[in-house]
Chains A and B, each alone.
Chain A
Amino acid sequence: MNLLADAIDWIMAPAQWQGPDALHLLVFQHLYFTGLAVLIASVIAVPAGWAIGHTGRGREAAVGISGAARAIPSFGLLILLVLLLGVIHKPEAAMITFVILAIPSLLAGAYTGFEAIDRSVIDAARAMGMSEWQILFKVEIPLGLPLLLGGLRSAALQVVATVTIAAYVNLGGLGLPIITGLALRRYDMVLGGAILVAVLALAVDGLFSLVQRLVTPHGVRTSQGIARSSRGPKNPTAVPVRPLVKQEGRK
């Protein structure tokens, strides 16, 4: 309990909010890494997922690649990439690591969103005379959006927790007080940093749950499960976020 009070004192201390490593700057760096990684991952994974969902082809490959990507430990990948790309390319190495982390959830969100749409709805759209592009933009994307956002939410959450390791390669973020604190045996600092990461993760999660509610198409919202029939679990993209901070702390 004492440690918790110390950690909060540490966060509140005016000294933490000044200088080049001020907490608000670290929060900003942390969010910047998260946002950019999720954005890049979306640009890659969302069109790919939509293509898989629309054509029904390439699903096995996507599942395989996602599974493999999920199995890669981010910390190991980061170190490997820094070694491969050279020390001057640390930011790129970190970004690639986070993008790879975010892709599986986004890919799954994109294609399960389409797969969950009742086939008869797509059939109806086609029979009305919609072109494939019109089916994509007027039917599949709006109806698939809630599950895509579920994927986006998981991805953002995983990345926000994992960006903590960026500090290991001197890129800042909220991992900085954690690793500095570990080296100095300043556990108030370690816990303070961890608390901030957790708060940030909760904030990101809350924000996405709000957005997710907003984009659920009317008519689908009013009666649960008309567009998204029996197929697929409620939120197949949810991936438990690894308790990364604790893991790193044990090392």
Chain B
Amino acid sequence: MIEFRNVTKLFPDGTIAVDDFSLVAPSRKITVLVGSSGSGKTTLLRMVNRMVEPTSGGVQIDGEDIVNERPVLLRRRIGYVMQNAGLLPHLTVADNIAAVPKLCGSSHRAARTRALELMETVGLDSHMADRYPSQLSGGQQQRVGVARGLAADPNILLMDEPFGAVDPIVRAELQQELIQLQRELDKTVIFVTHDIDEAFLLGDQVVILATGAKKLQVGSPSEIIENPADDFVAAFIGVDRGRRALRIKHTPNGPVLVDTEGRTQGTLVEDER
């Protein structure tokens, strides 16, 4: 369990990136932080591994204040997947993934074995092990980033728009793989995105944020869609348009659901009780 307790971050230039934010991210669940650019999502995420120190308030992991732990050790036990993959350009794919286990004291051989294993897990062909990041596509780099985040088998995984830089098809693929992975691995995940569809797809708990990391609504995807807190949230999640604004159309074969464009999206099936 990760708990933010009244955290505030005031940057030296006067920007209040996070203003008195509190949240519990439950263990073994995916908590998604979603909000527009500059709402403080990255700042919140980086407070968990002490890449950003809060100006006031604190973060607890399983009830322990993280300020009592050395940052270097804390970071080694938390997986962090960065938006731009953040790979080290002078290390091969395998060495990038193996870097964290090695920092934690694994032997070179054990770390490499682990790296090859993880490459398979994230769907990377093993012949890419000795390539350099510059020789990979954006999507492949993202996969390496995810594999590296998982390398030390951390309980906590922080993911900052990990699928932001890839095309929609690859993104959908990576999202499905993450869902699959989470089923097997059961990590406590905090996932940052500005894509509301991605948030609803992946999140057990979704947190909608406005500037200053102001919480507009916290809940499961169903709770938010069924009962948006206010008009802003309703507009943000798009309940009144596109794929989510469905109405019933009666056809000779029974009721179907159509979107605002008039395209049929599915049929309405009554629960048999």
- The number of chain B residues touching the other chain, given as a range, is 20 to 34
4 nearest A-B residue pairs (beta carbon) = A219-B132, A124-B86, A129-B76, A217-B90
- Report B-chain residues with C-beta under 8 Å of the C-beta of A88: none
Residue B80, interface by CB 8 Å: yes
Interface assignment of B237: CB less than 8 Å from any CB of chain A = no
Instruction: Count A interface residues, CB 8 Å.
Output: 24
Residues of A within 8 A of B46 (CB): 127
In the complex, whether A8 has a CB less than 8 A from a CB of chain B is: no
Q: B-side interface residues toward A, CB under 8 Å?
A: 46, 49, 51, 72-76, 80, 82, 84, 86-92, 99-100, 103-104, 132-135, 148
A219 touching B103 in the complex, CB below 8 Å, given contacts A127-B80, A131-B72, A226-B134 = no
Chain A residues within 8 Å of B84, by CB: 120
Q: Which of A120, A129, A219, A223 interacts with B72 by CB under 8 Å?
A: A129
* Apart from the given pairs A126-B51, A217-B89, A226-B133, 6 other A-B contacts in the complex at a CB distance below 8 Å: A123-B82, A129-B73, A139-B88, A218-B90, A219-B132, A219-B133
Residues of A within 8 A of B73 (CB): 129
Contact yes or no, B90 A142, CB < 8 A: yes
Query: When A128-B100, A222-B135 are in contact, do A123 and B90 touch as well, CB less than 8 Å?
Result: no
Alpha-carbon distance A125/B86, docked complex (angstroms): 8
Tell me the smallest distance from the CB of A212 to a CB of chain B, in Å. Answer: 15
Answer whether residue A170 sits at the interface, using C-beta atoms and an 8 A cutoff. no
How far apart sit A194 and B135, CA to CA, in the bound complex (Å)?
Answer: 47
**CB atoms of A121 and B80 under 8 A apart:** no
Interface contact A226-B51, CB-CB below 8 Å: no
Q: How many A-B residue pairs have CB under 8 A?
A: 74
A222 and B90 contacting across the interface, CB-CB below 8 Å: no
* Closest B residue to A227 using CB positions: B89
* Distance A131 CA – B87 CA, assembled complex (angstroms): 17
- Which residues of chain A are near B75, meaning CB under 8 Å? 126-129
- In chain B, what residue has the closest Cβ to A130? B103
Cβ distance B66 to chain A, nearest Cβ, rounded Å: 14
Known: A219-B133, A226-B133. A128 touches B90 (CB 8 A): no
* CA gap between A124 and B88 in the complex, in Å: 8
Across the interface, which residues of A come within 8 angstroms of B148, CB to CB?
A: 128
Q: How far, in Å, is A83 (CB) from chain B's closest CB?
A: 49
A220 within 8 A of B: yes
CA distance A120 to B160 in the complex (A): 14
A120 cross-chain contacts in B, Cβ below 8 A: 82, 84, 86
